[in-house]
Amino acid sequence: MISYNIIETRFSVNPDGTPGRINLVLWNATKNQETLSATLSGRGTRIPGDYSPADKPYQDVTELDCIDWVIDLEDQTSIEAQLDARIAELAQPTVSTGRPWQEAYPLWAVGVAVSVGDIRIYENTGYECIQAHTTQAQWAPPVTPALWKFYVPISEGPQPWVQPLGSEDAYGDGVQVTHQPAEFTEVHLWTSLVAANVWEPTPANSTLWEDNGPF
């Protein structure tokens, strides 16, 4: 069974400046199987303007409402397949080939003591340890943001923006990302203007992100 955790909701603004209806729900999905737990983190569901279940004042919306909308609007078969694939990888990590720069770092493995700043490769993705620990099967990097954050060397250039879960994976001052806000028709390059930046790069957040134009 898949369980959902609603991280945040965002809403439109009425012409008079008051909050309107919720138009975006950010969520995590988790599935447990025996001793293993797989999570899809930082996902988002856009709530269409013509979606009638969401036609209620934002302050009256409950977490259960948001979960119902996510279940209704997202492809549940695809979500479960992704979670099952992660559980399978947790049970028996596979050796795979990623980008050339990843060859300089060891693969993540169970039972290894890691220190802050250590880099490991897991499922063709780089992760940097942010809390010293000994790795365990249920603590793979994608499901333990308190222990790992995404890692890509500066030489690889700007990476797509991912919704941070907290201060541990927030964007630093001067970091560049690529992102296409809902109101844009193409991907833009953005530069963070503040430290510990957890906000989405959008025109509305111009004091937090500088829009450097199409990427």
CATH code, domain with 193: 2.10.10
Helix (H, G, I), strand (E, B) or coil at 192: strand
Query: Residue 31 belongs to what domain range?
Result: 2-91
pLDDT digits (tens, 9 = 90+) for 27-45: 989 998 877 788 887 788 9
pLDDT digits (tens, 9 = 90+) for 102-115: 888 888 988 899 99
pLDDT digits (tens, 9 = 90+) for 177-192: 889 998 898 888 898 9
**Structural domains counted in the chain:** 3
Looking at 70, 91, 112, the residue that finishes a domain is 91
Closest CA to 148 of 166, 160, 161: 166
For residue 96, the one-letter residue type is S
| 36 and 84 both lie in a single domain | yes
pTM over 0.85: no
**DSSP character string of 112-138:** -EE-TT-EEEETTEEEEESS-EE--GG
pLDDT digits (tens, 9 = 90+) for 149-173: 888 887 777 888 888 877 767 888 8
| 19 and 86 both lie in a single domain | yes
- Compute the radius of gyration of the chain from its Cα atoms: 19
pLDDT at 194 over 80: yes
| 22 and 35 both lie in a single domain | yes
CATH code, domain with 141: 2.10.10.20
Confidence class for position 94, pLDDT limits 50, 70, 90: low
| 49 and 73 both lie in a single domain | yes
